[in-house]
């Protein structure tokens, strides 16, 4: 069960760091993801800051789940963490497509957002595959 707890802590730390980045440097996140400068405004920055707060909520909930996980419920807990990574990944892959609708339906471009989303989707699969401690059925 140590592997599962370590993976849970990884999610908590990444969510907390991303939350700090989004709350305290929203314009930097927008420019990192390739947002044109004319679209970086207080409304867009506020939305990114809101996403940062939600990343903190994921970290806090993850901390609570990690502290209370047992052998009996670790599989369920890891499924929640896999779901969190899945949502992060879908956001990364789809956000650019939705922002450029209908042009976003063109062949995929590999921006930072898309690449990050793919990495997060891989994390989701890894978490799901490792949801059971070794030696359990």
User: pLDDT tens digit string along 71-120?
Assistant: 999 999 999 999 999 998 998 888 766 666 666 555 556 677 788 889 99
Task: Identify whether 77 is part of a domain.
Answer: yes
Contact 31, 37 (CB under 8 A): yes
- The residue range of the domain holding 121 is 2-129
Q: Is residue 14 part of a domain?
A: yes
**Count of the separate structural domains present in the chain:** 1
Q: What is the pLDDT of residues 36-72, one digit of tens each?
A: 888 899 999 999 999 999 999 999 999 999 999 999 9
Dihedrals φ, ψ of 76, to 5°? Answer: -65, -45
Position 37 in a domain: yes
59 with 12: CB under 8 angstroms? yes
Q: Is residue 41 part of a domain?
A: yes
Q: Is residue 136 part of a domain?
A: no
**Residue 134 located in a structural domain:** no
């Amino acid at each position: 069960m140590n592997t599962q707890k370590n993976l849970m802590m990884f999610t908590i730390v990444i969510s907390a760091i991303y939350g700090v980045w989004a709350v305290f440097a929203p314009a930097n996140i927008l420019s990192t993801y390739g947002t044109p400068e004319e679209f970086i405004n207080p409304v867009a920055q506020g939305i990114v800051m809101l996403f940062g707060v939600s990343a903190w909520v994921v970290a806090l909930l993850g901390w609570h789940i990690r502290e209370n996980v047992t052998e009996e419920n670790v599989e369920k807990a890891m499924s929640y963490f896999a779901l969190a990574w899945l949502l992060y990944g879908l956001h990364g892959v789809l956000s650019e497509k939705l922002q450029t609708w209908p042009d976003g339906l063109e062949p995929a471009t590999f921006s930072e957002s898309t690449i990050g989303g793919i990495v997060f989707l891989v994390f989701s699969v890894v978490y799901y595959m490792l949801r059971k401690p070794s030696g359990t059925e």
